[in-house]
RNA sequence: GCCCUUGUGGCGGAAUUGGUAGACGCGCUGGAUUCAAAAUCCAGUUCCUUCGGGAGUGGGGGUUCGAUUCCCCCCGGGGGUACCA
């Protein structure tokens, strides 16, 4: 019988579903293992061949672990809230829940096509009220908690309130914004509003006015990781900084722990570095400068207290609260003008035009506490309000930006570090000998920093401080399609959490999804929903990352109505053992999940400090983009030139063409035939009268000779709708089968690498599967397996592949697994093997990779039940033993010949035997043998 | 700019601790089969060569009996981040 993947695959998928083969229990004597994929956002485009790469790898690993005796949790769901569905709703009027539902159905059918072993009984989407009830519950937990910096963990806010009631603010160690002090009596005398305002400074979920990223086009605020290069990550719309009252999460309280615990997890170095940089820890000093003529002190942060003798001026952020107060009359007009200028600049302009220094003198002066000189105070764009204190001491001699600023405004520059000993050092490197710096003179920089920190603390003008670049996470979104923030405001505007019995706060139906111009959520229009017995609802919704910050916990106990996850379930599954997903989530999802997880850990809801023990970032599968060169010049519009005739690329626009029209697609010589040109102009009808130029001349559509070849330009790039190069896995599966598709995706190369998709290459894997299938059938295509004993050669082939597959899966090297299968199959075919003793383990070995065909062969071999529950084969060294070894023999490290020697020969005997080889004589003749290196079992090297 | 990562035949890639560079597959070339094509099968395929051999893992240098692998410098690709004081 011929290998017919379509028939086999349907049969076994039905079998798996009917028998619930992949359903996993939370109760088992087996050790547990949790394999998770980053769940998809179901976009309208469906899956392309790149998406399943990680799912295939995790599926193979999950199947392997099952066969190795683990109870494996391997779930899937959907990240269903988010901007694209809402933008789609605005454009089409189709409710996001409807389009999301359609998209999910499509995703599900595409995934079902691939034979994954997900336990679908645990499936959910983040937009299910049953799920987001618990997202809201966690938010309330954050609202109800504060961070105790003494105990270094989050605690219930009730404990803080109890402390205020007995001791006031005395002795409180907590992560907060401002250090108000009050007694217990004063606390009790405060109004509810006053108390609430104070507590806001401590809550893990809190409201504050902050300079946030406001995106006018999207009508919402965005988190820092949702802004790339000064524009919104979704849609690329301009973003500006605006002070707005917003919900935020106090992730900064966890900065140090998020940094430290990176040491404890098995993640790629790249991912750890991304997070380390994003957290951006720096050590330095908080320092107070006296202001001339004012009582206030100016607080700054510096990592270079050693350079303070070189601080010749100061710079504040334009938004700094002291600016208005200390600006002198004479400078008022200039300052106002400068502030108008900075306000007019978008975030993007500010970021892209960093070369140019701008600033304005305030007329005010501060006193350098060590030189006692009065130094001028400026405002400047290069100082950011939301880092440090929004103010700096400027040391032009040792900071590039300060230097540029000082040069432009003709401010004094005092050299304080002699770098002549370190010629390679840059201005900002912490290297050199202190000069012009009073008591620091002659010291090396690191020692000077230490001494200066001591002096500062001794004099009481500041203290050591660790600063983080990490910002608190903006949590409000002025959008419809997200989880409503479960907060009610009373008549005084004091926020109260909604009672658990009232959760979930479901999204009310809405017809108009258009964002409002005044920065309020579309939900604000729904007044009957907003007003609740004298209370008003919060109308902002949660950001896209809310649900994904904890979804992996929900899979442990997905249908629980009484808790986000039961104690017993989370104690059993603990954490995700293996997490596979793209590397684009380093500063978003993976940061927030770690934060939420640690928070839940502090409050005793989860037993581990980290959510994801091991992380693998799969690479992207790229597509080939086919372009046509179109002349840019006005008079030659609609003139396409064959790629081989193009000399000056600048003169041509590149028009992407649908890849199905292109012959020899993806190759250097890809071209459009007359047929391809016809398809192209039928698709892009505006080019129906265009001219196509090749070396043979100019041709109009329809007037080309049969041999006409118009070369296209091929380039590797993203697989995307806009390049018309998307390959749908469904089409590949239709033609080759899911087993073949799965193995081919793995065969393409290492999981972590990005690599281009090449449909042509799949033939190799397809041939392999047929060859492998052929081992079980005789010449007349009848199933025919022999019970005869296997030969030592056959056993050697079998155990070689068993050993290789085991070790390669363990190190996630799936591409070499496929090669090993091919090698084994080729060898067995040459030997004409059809022995049961060889084929049974081979089928077991194959089943994680090609589960459908493995089930079919397993059944034909006479077994009942599924091969997926069988034990994974283990190799036996005795079958791998060799009597003789082929040694490579090198002269001076260059291989010249090989020779077979007995495997048990000693080093000395090998040396003697090798030197006696007749072939060797011409190489050593007349030369002195200096040394012979023999590595038993490996190689022999003769040095002459 | 800084940080991470990557560079091996025409292509995807292999070489797990420094030990036969190019496994496996695609493509290509030749052959068999066929009226022919597709499919299939067999053989060859890093480059140069005077057929002895020589060169070769982005480039240059180093350590070593031996380097794709370790060290230093430089160049290219991909990603992250960016007035962070």
**Three-state secondary structure string covering A9-29:** HHHHHHHHHHCCCCCCCCCCC
Question: CA A64, CA A45: separation in Å to the nearest integer?
Answer: 32
**Tokens at A106, concatenated:** 């499509």
Strand B close to A508 by CB, under 7 A: no
On average, the pLDDT of chain A sits at: 89
Please classify residue A789 by burial: count the beta carbons closer than 10 Å to its beta carbon, then call 0-12 exposed, 13-18 middle and 19+ buried: exposed
**Is the four-CA dihedral A788, A794, A795, A801 of positive or negative sign?**
negative
Select from A867, A848, A817, A855 the least CA-distant residue to A60.
Answer: A848
> Per-residue DSSP letters for A716-742?
EE---GGGT----HHHHHHHH-HHHHH
Specify the CATH number of the domain A281-468. 3.90.740.10
Strand B close to A882 by CB, under 7 A: no
Strand B close to A755 by CB, under 7 A: yes
Query: In whole angstroms, what separates CA A80 from the centre of its chain?
Result: 18
Query: Which bases of strand B have any atom within 7 Å of the beta carbon of a protein residue?
Result: 3-5, 10-16, 19-21, 23-27, 40-41, 54-55, 65-67, 78-85
Q: Which of residues 214-253 of A touch strand B (CB under 7 A)?
A: 224-225, 228
| Closest C1' nucleotide to A941's CA | B65
Select from A191, A201, A209, A190 the least CA-distant residue to A160.
Answer: A201
pLDDT value of residue A937 = 80
Strand B close to A625 by CB, under 7 A: no
Contacts 24+ apart (CB under 8 A), A339-346: A339/A379, A342/A318, A342/A381, A343/A318, A345/A381, A346/A230, A346/A238, A346/A239, A346/A240
Q: Which of residues 385-444 of A touch strand B (CB under 7 A)?
A: 387-390, 392, 399, 401
Question: CA A5, CA A126: separation in Å to the nearest integer?
Answer: 35
| Closest C1' nucleotide to A277's CA | B81
Q: Which of residues 452-471 of A touch strand B (CB under 7 A)?
A: 467, 469
Strand B close to A898 by CB, under 7 A: yes
Q: Which of residues 549-588 of A touch strand B (CB under 7 A)?
A: 583-584, 586-587
Please classify residue A127 by burial: count the beta carbons closer than 10 Å to its beta carbon, then call 0-12 exposed, 13-18 middle and 19+ buried: buried
Å: A427 CA to B81 C1': 21
Å: A911 CA to B18 C1': 21
| Closest C1' nucleotide to A718's CA | B78
Query: Cα dist. A244→A199, A351, A880 in Å?
Result: 19, 21, 70
Q: How many CA atoms lie within 13 A of A595 on its CB side?
A: 31
Å: A477 CA to B45 C1': 61
Sorted by sequence, the CB contacts under 8 Å of residue A332 that are 6+ apart come out as: none
Q: Are A310 and A416 in contact (CB under 8 A)?
A: yes
Å: A349 CA to B1 C1': 18
Question: CA A667, CA A644: separation in Å to the nearest integer?
Answer: 13
Strand B close to A274 by CB, under 7 A: yes
- Pick A884-943's CATH classification: 3.90.226.10, 3.40.50.2300, 3.10.20.590, 3.40.190.10: 3.10.20.590
| Closest C1' nucleotide to A829's CA | B41
Å: A880 CA to B17 C1': 21
**Is the ipTM here above 0.85?**
yes
Å: A900 CA to B51 C1': 26
**Tokens at A342, concatenated:** 């900075």
Question: CA A2, CA A10: separation in Å to the nearest integer?
Answer: 16
| Closest C1' nucleotide to A274's CA | B80
Sorted by sequence, the CB contacts under 8 Å of residue A121 that are 6+ apart come out as: A20, A23, A558
What are the residue ranges spanned by the domains of chain A?
28-131+550-617, 139-255+472-537, 281-468, 621-717, 738-879, 884-943
Q: Give the helix, strand, coil percentages of chain A, each rounded to 5.
A: 40, 20, 40
Residue A36 parent element (H or E)? strand A32-37
Kindly state which CATH superfamily the domain A738-879 is placed in: Isoleucyl-tRNA Synthetase; Domain 1 (1.10.730.10)
pLDDT value of residue A21 = 94
Å: A523 CA to B66 C1': 73
Å: A268 CA to B4 C1': 10
| Closest C1' nucleotide to A765's CA | B25
Å: A934 CA to B54 C1': 26
**What are the residues facing A373 on neighbouring strands?**
none
Torsion angle of the four alpha carbons A516, A522, A527, A528, in this order, in degrees rounded to the nearest 10: 170
Sorted by sequence, the CB contacts under 8 Å of residue A789 that are 6+ apart come out as: A835, A837
pLDDT value of residue A455 = 92
| Closest C1' nucleotide to A353's CA | B83
Select from A941, A865, A868 the least CA-distant residue to A907.
Answer: A941
**Is the four-CA dihedral A702, A707, A710, A716 of positive or negative sign?**
positive
| Closest C1' nucleotide to A404's CA | B83
Strand B close to A779 by CB, under 7 A: no
Query: Cα dist. A550→A495, A507, A558, A597 in Å?
Result: 24, 20, 12, 7
Q: Which of residues 794-823 of A touch strand B (CB under 7 A)?
A: 804, 807-808, 811, 813, 815-816, 818-819, 822-823
Q: Which of residues 376-395 of A touch strand B (CB under 7 A)?
A: 381-384, 387-390, 392
Å: A8 CA to B35 C1': 37
Select from A81, A75, A123 the least CA-distant residue to A99.
Answer: A81
pLDDT value of residue A254 = 95
Q: Which of residues 346-375 of A touch strand B (CB under 7 A)?
A: 350-351, 353-354, 356-358
pLDDT value of residue A348 = 65
What per-residue string of b and e applies to A645-654 under the rule 16 or more CB within 10 Å gives b? eeeeeeebee
pLDDT value of residue A351 = 66
| Closest C1' nucleotide to A400's CA | B83
Query: Which residue stretches of A182-302 are H helix?
Result: 184-189, 192-200, 255-260, 269-279
| Closest C1' nucleotide to A822's CA | B24
Question: CA A176, CA A253: separation in Å to the nearest integer?
Answer: 9
Q: What is the mean pLDDT of each run of 10 residues along chain A (944 residues)?
A: 88 95 94 96 88 95 97 96 85 90 95 96 96 97 96 96 94 82 94 94 90 81 77 78 87 94 90 90 92 90 92 92 91 91 74 74 92 92 87 90 90 88 74 89 90 92 90 89 95 92 92 80 90 92 94 97 96 96 89 96 96 93 85 78 78 84 74 85 88 86 81 81 87 93 94 88 93 88 88 92 95 95 93 91 96 96 93 92 82 80 83 80 76 84 82
Q: Which of residues 653-692 of A touch strand B (CB under 7 A)?
A: 668
3-state SS assignment for residue A409: coil
Contacts 24+ apart (CB under 8 A), A164-172: A164/A198
Query: Cα dist. A117→A66, A73, A649, A811, A847 in Å?
Result: 10, 10, 49, 21, 12
Å: A926 CA to B72 C1': 38
Å: A263 CA to B12 C1': 34
pLDDT value of residue A118 = 97
- Pick A28-131+550-617's CATH classification: 3.40.50.620, 3.40.630.20, 3.30.390.50, 3.40.605.10: 3.40.50.620
């Amino acid at each position: 019988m011929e290998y017919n993947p379509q028939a086999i695959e349907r049969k076994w998928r039905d079998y798996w579903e009917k028998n619930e083969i992949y359903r996993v229990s939370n109760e088992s004597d087996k050790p547990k293992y949790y394999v998770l994929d980053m769940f998809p956002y179901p976009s309208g485009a469906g899956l392309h061949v790149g998406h399943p790469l990680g799912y295939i790898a995790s599926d193979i690993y999950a199947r392997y672990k099952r066969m190795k005796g683990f109870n494996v949790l391997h779930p899937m769901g959907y990240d269903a809230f988010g901007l694209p569905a809402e933008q789609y709703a605005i454009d089409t009027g189709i409710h996001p829940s409807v389009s999301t539902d359609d998209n999910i159905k499509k995703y599900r059918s595409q995934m079902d096509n691939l034979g994954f072993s997900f336990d679908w009984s645990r499936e959910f989407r983040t937009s299910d009220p049953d799920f987001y009830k618990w997202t809201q519950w966690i938010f309330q937990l954050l609202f109800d908690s504060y961070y105790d910096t003494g105990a270094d963990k989050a605690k219930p806010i009730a404990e803080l309130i109890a402390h205020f009631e007995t001791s006031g603010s005395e002795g409180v160690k907590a992560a907060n914004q401002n250090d108000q002090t009050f007694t217990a009596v004063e606390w009790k005398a405060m109004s509810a509003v006053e108390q609430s305002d104070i507590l806001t400074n401590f809550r893990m979920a809190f409201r504050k006015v902050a300079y946030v990223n406001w995106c006018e086009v999207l009508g919402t605020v965005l988190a820092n990781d949702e802004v790339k290069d000064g524009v919104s990550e979704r849609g690329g719309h301009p973003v500006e900084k605006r002070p707005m009252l917003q919900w935020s999460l106090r992730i900064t309280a966890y900065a140090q722990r998020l940094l430290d615990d990176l040491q404890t997890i098995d993640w790629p170095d790249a991912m750890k570095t991304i997070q380390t940089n994003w957290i951006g820890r720096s050590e330095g000093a908080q320092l107070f400068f006296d202001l001339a003529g004012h009582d206030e002190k100016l607080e700054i942060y510096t990592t270079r207290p050693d350079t303070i003798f070189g601080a010749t001026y100061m710079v504040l952020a334009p938004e700094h609260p002291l600016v208005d107060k200390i600006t002198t009359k004479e400078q008022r007009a200039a300052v106002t003008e400068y502030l108008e200028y900075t306000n007019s600049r978008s975030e993007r302009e500010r970021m892209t035009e960093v070369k140019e220094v701008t600033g304005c003198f305030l007329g005010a002066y501060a006193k350098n506490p060590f030189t006692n000189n009065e130094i001028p105070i400026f405002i400047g764009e290069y100082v950011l309000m939301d880092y440090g204190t929004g103010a700096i001491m400027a040391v032009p001699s040792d900071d590039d930006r300060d230097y540029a600023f000082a040069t432009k405004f003709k401010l004094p520059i005092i050299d304080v570090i002699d770098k002549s000993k370190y010629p390679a050092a840059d201005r900002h490197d912490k290297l050199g000998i202190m000069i012009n710096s009073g008591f620091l003179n002659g010291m090396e920089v690191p020692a000077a920093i230490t001494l200066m920190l001591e002096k500062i603390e001794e004099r009481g003008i500041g203290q050591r401080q660790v600063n983080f670049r990490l910002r608190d996470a903006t949590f409000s979104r002025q959008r419809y399609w997200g989880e409503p923030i479960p907060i009610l405001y009373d008549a005084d505007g004091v926020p109260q959490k909604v009672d658990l019995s009232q959760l979930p706060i479901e999204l009310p139906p809405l017809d108009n999804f258009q964002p409002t111009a005044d920065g309020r959520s579309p939900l604000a229009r729904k007044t009957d929903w907003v007003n609740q017995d004298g209370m008003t609802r919060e109308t902002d919704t949660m950001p896209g990352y809310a649900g994904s910050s904890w979804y992996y916990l929900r899979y442990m106990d997905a249908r629980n109505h009484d808790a986000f996850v039961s104690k017993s379930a989370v104690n059993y599954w603990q954490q995700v053992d293996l997490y596979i997903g793209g590397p684009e989530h380093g500063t978003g999802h993976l940061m927030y999940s770690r934060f939420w997880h640690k928070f839940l850990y502090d409050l005793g809801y989860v037993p581990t400090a980290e959510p994801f023990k091991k992380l693998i970032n799969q690479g992207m599968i790229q597509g080939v983009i086919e372009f046509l060169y179109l002349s840019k010049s006005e008079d030659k519009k609609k003139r396409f030139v064959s790629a081989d005739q193009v000399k000056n690329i600048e003169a041509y626009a590149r028009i992407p063409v649908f890849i199905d029209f292109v012959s020899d697609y993806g190759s250097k010589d890809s071209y459009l035939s007359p047929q391809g040109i016809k398809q192209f102009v039928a698709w892009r009808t505006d080019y129906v009268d265009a001219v196509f130029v090749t070396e043979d001349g100019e041709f109009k559509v329809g007037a080309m000779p049969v041999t006409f070849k118009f070369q296209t330009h091929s380039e590797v790039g993203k697989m995307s709708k806009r390049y018309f190069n998307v390959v749908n896995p469904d089409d590949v599966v239709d033609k080759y089968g899911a087993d073949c598709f799965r193995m081919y995706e793995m065969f393409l190369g290492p999981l972590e690498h990005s690599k281009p998709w090449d449909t042509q290459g799949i033939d190799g894997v397809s041939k392999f599967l047929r060859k492998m299938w052929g081992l079980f059938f005789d010449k007349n295509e009848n199933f025919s397996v022999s019970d005869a004993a296997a030969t030592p050669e056959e056993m050697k082939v079998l155990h070689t592949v068993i050993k290789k597959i085991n070790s390669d899966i363990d190190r996630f090297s799936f591409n070499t697994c496929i090669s090993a299968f091919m090698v084994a199959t080729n060898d067995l075919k040459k030997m004409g093997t059809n022995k049961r003793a060889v084929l049974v383990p081979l089928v077991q070995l194959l089943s994680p990779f090609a589960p459908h065909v493995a089930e079919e062969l397993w059944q034909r071999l006479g077994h009942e039940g599924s091969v997926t529950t069988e034990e994974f084969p283990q190799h036996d060294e005795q079958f791998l033993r060799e009597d003789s070894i082929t040694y490579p023999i090198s002269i001076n490290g260059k291989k010249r010949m090989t020779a077979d020697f007995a495997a048990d020969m000693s080093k000395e005997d090998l040396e003697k035997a090798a030197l006696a080889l007749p072939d060797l004589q011409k190489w050593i003749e007349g030369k002195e043998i200096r040394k012979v290196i023999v590595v038993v079992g490996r190689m022999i090297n003769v040095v002459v």
